[in-house]
Structure 1
């Protein structure tokens, strides 16, 4: 199987095993230096160019920060929220933006192509930018002259950059405030409809970064005011995509390094015509958001997808629990909802009502039968295809059921072990033989077979016993320093639940 940005393709051409349905996956980015030329060029520029770029960028950040400190001197947070800054402070913000644009040029963004024209604030109080795919999306922000952004409150504490963000008079989202969403929407509406000379409010309505293969569901915040919005499309037409920052892919430092070791990087900003909402859209922010998204997708020539920011929470939990193939779990979750598995809790029933071990390998027909689905349905075939990662036309039902239950019910690695015992046991007593323990510990905490066998022999209460209990296995694991962190984190999670 080859997995690239946005799609998965199975290489088997057999009609019974290769289901030719492309599945968009906007949260995955693969970036490798495949050719010897790219590797040698990156190595050379890391030595010959990177230090100079870092020095120039550092100097410009410090200068911009000092000017931002000067521009904000004497202003409280309440002052920044109450009224737009005026006079020399506003002029200073323009200077800071020019310095930040110079920073991007020093970083290799020599080619900034702009299409269309930015609308005046009175014509479009809100700018909706998409797709959001990178921290390099700060380039459109500085090009636009520092419009007010919508950002997490924690960003104000980022060294140097927090002060620069404050200078835009942002709309901060306080996530520890239960009324945060309503307060954020209220502030956006107040600014968008105010007679005062506020900067335009700039929003990335997707709410999270994707790989630009599609536009995921727009959050409605930008569209609640019911005022005209100017859609702004962002593209990075580079041969090597070193800017995309997603849930699964290179980290921020690797992306920064690879971008700063490119001779040139390009960015395109396209201002679409101002979108004036209809009366129906003014009263239905979701309709308004969906119509703007469709318009932007047509301009970008990419599809729309029903992924949402909330789907990232599932991915985040999978990463937290070290469950592999985290981005595929979201796709499975949506398909399970579509075919009714979520409501029916079919996978839980399989575990609760089983009279023996679940089968390790099944084909599409048997997979559908076990889950009480129709194997002719395209959604069933897609769900099977996601689990069939090797393209062999077989799916491990134990692994599938364990992943579903772990994402739904587990909060710690200890919870994962409990679930793995339930899934892999051939009875309801949570006793496993050596082979079953191998599978359970591999699924739960990725322990290799040899180590699992050692744990099995240590956990046996009697020399001639051929099974071990969950409690005895946990005692053995807790006695080993390499697994001590699991028990500490489990205690911490339980403590938080009782507070």
Structure 2
């Protein structure tokens, strides 16, 4: 049954273009057959595969250890491996390729891999999984760009070192520029360095599109070979995105499949023209367009910053965190990014008295956006999950205001308290405070109620935001919260990044 919004708009009748979110992946065993098969193969097949895989990883580590014997880190960075060490590197790649064979991967190759003389740099996309390393071992162990911390990983750190990677160190403010210089030096060197394999998207997606390519691979201005990777399986057990199954769940489900398909397509080498050599971003866009055409997927200007945005929203438990990337894109289409409409609303008297249930007509009127715009309709639909024709406008306001770059956690808490303040006078009753705290500080309802009772020392039945701050400043559990609140603005301006209270770089290359 079609549910109408006020004004005669329905979900079924709304002819809106689908807005892709490349950072979300859903994976569940839906049928009884899949569940029974997975249970049986977990007992029968999984232990065998894990045992053999561990054996080959250890053998690969031994070869890598031998190949690196007597070499210092400095020597490893100064010149490429040659002679017997280079031969051992290829043998190690073959051994590690066996890991994927034992894991049940059927590999299909199309096109022809170029050599370093033809293309010093290889750009692989879409990047969606740690399984993408199958391309690296097939190619014989090219150098990769990796986080410096990976060098310390048990077993795999030695294997990665053997590829002579370009490391990026997060605690070194000059690391990014040094890495770019290293990529340029190797790509343009007369020495026989391995090809440099780069995932230009810089993070994992669900392969529904190609997001913005970072320019690192394109700074040298040398010919690049684009490489496309696909996983044409009925059940997608490899995609590891910002919102979705954990790495362990994916590994378990992948190893309990009878087999998994992977296709690697080597596209013709792309030689940049003079304009592309001068403009790395143009070079990146043009290579992305070629790869998107080969893959049959759209290009969308999502970026690493969007990943950070969604991570911050998720860690703070902001409403509809996985959808906030889509929300921001729609707001940009509607011109809301520049008008500060939402921020003005919470500081004015024009906001509705009860924003917990508003219709589509009220929604577009409050935001001053056209009711017949597909983007307006899509924006409302994101929050109307039950197709009721009504949404909680407070959740919308908190979501879009909570992820702004100039807002630290304390700012977001103040905004939440203002949004959920049913009294209109800055006095938060239990229910108001719980909603504000749970959706900004990632507290459970029980913990939020406990804090309310402790902060309401005079038993007034309400607290103010200042009551909470005075209480929280004396508690060790909130020390990091106030530390980030005081420093975050400065750091975000210096780094150009959005940082959350528990910032991490999971799934980022």
Whether the 8 Å CA contact 2:93–2:140 is kept in 1: the answer is: yes
Select the residue among 17, 22, 25 that pairs with 1:21.
Answer: 17
Whether the 8 Å CA contact 1:17–1:392 is kept in 2: the answer is: no
1:210-236 Cα deviation digits (max 9, x unpaired): 011111111111111111111111011
1:487 alignment counterpart? 478
1:310 aligned counterpart, secondary structure: helix
Select the residue among 137, 149, 153 that pairs with 1:154.
Answer: 149
2:304 aligned counterpart, secondary structure: coil
1:396-429 Cα deviation digits (max 9, x unpaired): 21111112222226544x6554332111225664
Whether the 8 Å CA contact 2:4–2:389 is kept in 1: the answer is: no
Cα 1:473/1:125, change in 2 over 3 Å: closer
1:456-494 Cα deviation digits (max 9, x unpaired): 67765667x564433445678899xxxx77524324535
Is residue 2:235 matched to residue 1:240? Answer: yes
Whether the 8 Å CA contact 1:30–1:250 is kept in 2: the answer is: yes
Select the residue among 377, 381, 388 that pairs with 1:385.
Answer: 381
1:61 alignment counterpart? 57
Alignment of 1:183-198 (within 5 A): 183-198=178-193
2:222 alignment counterpart? 227
Gap runs ≥5 in structure 1: 1-9
Is residue 2:104 matched to residue 1:108? Answer: yes
Is residue 2:68 matched to residue 1:77? Answer: no
Alignment of 1:364-443 (within 5 A): 364-408=360-404, 411-412=408-409, 416-426=412-422, 429-433=425-429, 436-437=432-433, 439-441=435-437, 443=439
2:167 aligned counterpart, secondary structure: strand
1:226 aligned counterpart, secondary structure: coil
2:503 alignment counterpart? none
Alignment of 1:198-217 (within 5 A): 198-217=193-212
User: Distance between the aligned counterparts of 1:159 and 1:259, measured in 2?
Assistant: 22
Whether the 8 Å CA contact 2:473–2:479 is kept in 1: the answer is: no
State the superposition RMSD in angstroms.
Answer: 2.8
Whether the 8 Å CA contact 2:455–2:467 is kept in 1: the answer is: yes
Cα 1:79/1:353, change in 2 over 3 Å: same
2:180 aligned counterpart, secondary structure: helix
Gap runs ≥5 in structure 2: 492-509
Deviation at 1:192, TM superposition (A): 1.3
The number of residues matched between the two structures is 483
Whether the 8 Å CA contact 2:473–2:482 is kept in 1: the answer is: no
Alignment of 1:200-349 (within 5 A): 200-349=195-344
Whether the 8 Å CA contact 1:339–1:373 is kept in 2: the answer is: yes
Q: Which moved more, 1:254-263 or 1:169-178?
A: 169-178
Deviation at 1:120, TM superposition (A): 1.6
2:29 alignment counterpart? 33
Cα 1:160/1:324, change in 2 over 3 Å: farther
1:96-128 Cα deviation digits (max 9, x unpaired): 00100111111111x110001001211111111
User: Distance between the aligned counterparts of 1:285 and 1:348, measured in 2?
Assistant: 37
1:324-370 Cα deviation digits (max 9, x unpaired): 53221111122323333232222111112236746222223322221
User: Distance between the aligned counterparts of 1:219 and 1:192, measured in 2?
Assistant: 17
TM-score, length of structure 2 as denominator length: 0.87
TM-score, length of structure 1 as denominator length: 0.89
Cα 1:91/1:324, change in 2 over 3 Å: farther
Select the residue among 89, 92, 109 that pairs with 1:93.
Answer: 89
1:304-328 Cα deviation digits (max 9, x unpaired): 1111112111011112212353221
2:338 aligned counterpart, secondary structure: helix
User: Distance between the aligned counterparts of 1:209 and 1:65, measured in 2?
Assistant: 26
Cα 1:44/1:76, change in 2 over 3 Å: same
1:230 aligned counterpart, secondary structure: strand
Q: Bigger relative contact order, structure 1 or 2, given CA contacts below 8 A and separation 6+?
A: 2
1:105-154 Cα deviation digits (max 9, x unpaired): 11111x11000100121111111101100000010000000011111111
Whether the 8 Å CA contact 1:321–1:411 is kept in 2: the answer is: no
Cα 1:392/1:87, change in 2 over 3 Å: same
Cα 1:73/1:476, change in 2 over 3 Å: same
2:285 aligned counterpart, secondary structure: helix
1:432 aligned counterpart, secondary structure: coil
Cα 1:136/1:457, change in 2 over 3 Å: closer
Cα 1:258/1:183, change in 2 over 3 Å: same
User: Distance between the aligned counterparts of 1:446 and 1:490, measured in 2?
Assistant: 11
Is residue 2:41 matched to residue 1:45? Answer: yes
Deviation at 1:68, TM superposition (A): 0.6
Whether the 8 Å CA contact 1:398–1:423 is kept in 2: the answer is: yes
Deviation at 1:12, TM superposition (A): 5.2
